[in-house]
Amino acid sequence: MALSTASNFAKPDDAFRAVVEAHRGLSEKESADLDAALVLILANHIGDITVLREAITLAKRRMIDTSQQQQQQQQ
């Protein structure tokens, strides 16, 4: 099974909203704790190390893009 990046929710806004609302009222630290638990729960639910690694790669691409942008801005 490969990582699915098609839109899987019938109502994507509901999903985004659910995550956003979970963080409402939390401090930065509490939010980070929540995310850590959430990532592990969802990773276990997926239960496929290949999919997990693909997801990590996709997520990490943002870090690379961000650091490249910062370098370009500095130049």
CA distance 50 to 26: 32
Binding site for other proteins (CB under 8 A): 32-33, 36-37, 39-41, 44
Nearer to other proteins, 3 or 39 (CB): 39
- Tokens for 50? 């290949």
Minimum Å distance from CB 56 to other proteins?
13
Which of 26, 40 has the CB closer to other proteins? 40
User: Distance between CA 65 and CA 72 in Å, rounded?
Assistant: 11
Q: Which is nearer to other proteins, 20 or 41 (CB)?
A: 41
Q: How far apart are the first and last CA of the chain?
A: 42
